[in-house]
Structure 1
Amino acid sequence: MGFNTSLSGISAANADLNVTANNIANVNTVGFKESRAEFADVLNATGYGLRNNAIGSGVRLTNVAQQFSQGNIDQTGRSLDLAIEGEGFFTLDMNGTRVYSRAGNFQPDKDGYVTNPQGARLQVYAPSADGTRFDGALTDLRLLTSDSPPRPTSRLELAFTLPANAKEPTITPFDPASSNSYNHSSGGITVFDSLGVSHVQTSYFVKTANPNEWQVYNFVDGVPAGNPPGSATTLQFSDSGALLSPASGQIDLGTFTPTTGAGQLAMNLDISGATQYGEKFNQHNTGQDGYASGKLNEISISEQGVVYARYSNGVDVALGQVALTNFNNPQGLLSQGNNLWTETYASGTPRIGAPGSSDLGQIQAGSLEASTVDLTQQLVNMITAQRNFQANAQMLSTQDQITQTVINIR
């Protein structure tokens, strides 16, 4: 029986060396979790159970357990390199089979789907129609490659201060071609039609004979605007410089028909920030809500895992939110190789959620999680396993000598 005991020790030491060798081989594998060989002693039993003076019969390998500790997060600067800071796994679809991984070295395939090196597609929560919620069904993350469509302008904003000591223009009536027929003009606001072509809206300010009263004329590409077109809007200010009329601070610019073939522009000018102070004309702020078409500039991902396509026109389009999965017993997962695991009965039911929710970690974009293998510790383990192997081999040799001595007794 002693031979079998020593053989089991040699086998166990060899298994320990194999586990250590696998750890060392994966010291630079992205998202790799080191393994630990776990052993249990063996006792022979009689028909009546274990004897009080029973001697152990060796050792056996009971489990090779992966240790799901947090690895170091290394910056890469690549937008589709993702790392999980905390618990959870990336959720992937491999030809219809749900698999899980801690390795976030993703890239788009020929069809724009974001995949790992083995072709498993990253799963995300689909965005709602307005892009503000991500609670729909899981779907493959696919990067948009088409242009962002333009948005026609519907609202403009112009904030300015008119001089309180202004005099009436020397030339009447108002003529935009004659600078002496108006006091001041805005610098012009760029607006966009439904085809993304830009136009310029300009406002001209004319002081009237009445105190604290002005008229404003609006043009788009030199064409009179307003309701009706070419009509003036009267601005009235209080003796403290606040805008009194129009009370809403809104001017209806009517409709403008572009020559580009785009649809009519129906726009409204917000001048609620207008004031009348001092001796100089000042234009404080301009703005409008339209934009031209845009080219895809980059993909960015937030800590909450929301994937945005950023376009050259300043538009951000939400493509989805990365779905993370966690288990009550991650060590119960079944390793499939290639940094992938699948669920088992022992792992428990998968719990899927958004990054940063419940016990799930956050996403670090432009980063990768390094292997959890501590090379120094593994070298120490290798020496220990080697000594164990040598000791059991020596024990086997000693037992052989004792057996030979017994045989030689006459």
Structure 2
Amino acid sequence: MGLFGASVSGMDAFQTMMNVIGNNVANVNTTGYKTSQVNFADILSQTLANGSSGSTAGIGGTNPQQVGLGVKIAEITPNFSQGSLTQTGNSNDLAIDGNGLFAVSPDANPTSPNQIFYTRAGNFHVDNNGNLVTADGDYVLGTSSAPTPGGSTSMPTWTAINTEVSGQPAQFTIGPDGTVTVSGGSTSYYIPIVGFPNYSGLQKMGSNLYTAPASNSAGTPSYGQAGTGNFGAIQAGYLESSNVDLSQELTNMMIANTGYGANSKVISTQNQMLQTLLQNV
């Protein structure tokens, strides 16, 4: 019966892999999307006999006898490799060329890390109040003072980026270092880049957003000036494309399909063996 259990776990694992691949393919045109990867791990083996060391009489030792009990999903992690940058001509569109993420929030002045989300999708726009927001209406977060070059682990004082002057819409530009200059050349805001020791430890929330709960493995965030240290530069008028490689995903799909079918065949063969045994009893 152990053979059934191992093969069922294999079918479950490859089905999960297929689901992840399907989601990657579905998001091939999603701005800033990061493909997910599935990693397998074997389930603790059943030990039939322990190994032993050699005796002093010159008799050699024996190796342990262990039977595997199947496979499990070890992790499903986002792959934060750089996606290609596509020029849009829209100055509200921002892309990060390098490491890091934008900070966004449903609150205009968040004071807790739990109120903040992170994204690579820079398809922003200005709302009817003059604030720079995401496609879902979350505020793009900035600061009123220049971020630390190279980064700092101290969370800055966040604020929404308002592009109006005296309550009226105004022209603005965003530089590679995240400096937001509104109308007559006055610097109003800065957009820091947020970095993590382990980007794959971030938790997906949908809508191109990630969170970094204190209990996860992303590590302590650092906040820095774009284009300094390990922080990528900001490219205005560009969007980062999905990093999904369709040819690789289709190859992975064939691997998952083959693995699922092979495990199904093992179950079918084991069932035939049991039927033969019962017929001969």
Per the TM superposition, whether the score is higher than 0.5 is yes
Residues 85-96 of structure 1: pairs in structure 2 closer than 5 A = 85-95=97-107, 96=110
SS of 2:274's partner is helix
Q: Does the CA contact (< 8 Å) of 2:49 and 2:66 recur in 1?
A: no
Secondary structure class of the residue paired with 1:54? strand
Partner in structure 1 of residue 190 of structure 2: 321
Considering fraction of residues, name the structure with more helix.
2
Which residue does the alignment assign to 1:71? 83
Shift of 1:299: 2.0
Q: Distance in 2 between matches of 1:91 and 1:126?
A: 15
The match for 2:206 is: 337
Aligned partners of 2:43 and 2:70 also within 8 Å: yes
Q: CA deviation at 1:137?
A: 3.0
Paired position in structure 2 for 1:207: none
**1:305 is matched with which residue?**
178
Residues 82 and 368, structure 1, Cα contact 8 Å, conserved in 2:
yes
The answer as to whether partners of 1:134 and 1:320 remain within 8 angstroms in 2 is no
Structure 1 position 145, deviation (Å)? 4.2
Residues in 2 aligned to 1:90 and 1:383: alpha-carbon distance in whole angstroms: 35
Q: Deviations over 1:119-167 (max 9, x none)?
A: 221111215xxxxx5677331111114489xxxxxxxxxxxxxxxxxxx
1:30/1:43 CA distance change after superposition, 3 Å: same
Cα deviations across residues 292-341 of structure 1 (Å, max 9, x unaligned)? xxx83x3211111111123xxxx212121111100111111111111111
- 2:221 maps to a residue whose letter is P
Q: What is the aligned-residue RMSD (CA, Å)?
A: 2.1
With normalisation by structure 1, the TM-score equals 0.59
Gaps of at least 5 residues in structure 2 are 52-62, 149-155
1:383/1:105 CA distance change after superposition, 3 Å: same
- Secondary structure of the residue aligned to 2:173 is strand
Structure 1: runs of 5 or more not aligned: 128-132, 149-294
Distance 1:334 1:340 in 2: 8
How far did residue 43 of structure 1 move?
2.7
Partner of 1:368: 239
Say which of 394, 404, 408 aligns to 2:265.
394
User: Does the residue aligned with 1:74 lie in a helix, a strand or coil?
Assistant: strand
Q: Kindly report which structure 2 residues correspond to 1:8-407, keeping only aligned pairs within 5 A, or say none.
A: 8-45=9-46, 52-95=64-107, 96=110, 97-127=115-145, 137-146=157-166, 296=170, 298-310=171-183, 315-344=184-213, 345=215, 346-407=217-278
Partner residue, 2:55: none
Structure 2 equivalent of residue 152 of structure 1? none
Seen in structure 2, the aligned counterparts of structure 1 residues 366 and 63 have a Cα distance that, compared at 3 Å, is same
Question: CA offsets, 1:270-293, max 9 Å, x none?
Answer: xxxxxxxxxxxxxxxxxxxxxxxx
With the length of structure 2 as denominator, give the TM-score of the two structures: 0.85
Question: What is the Cα deviation at residue 54 of structure 1?
Answer: 0.9
The number of residues matched between the two structures is 254
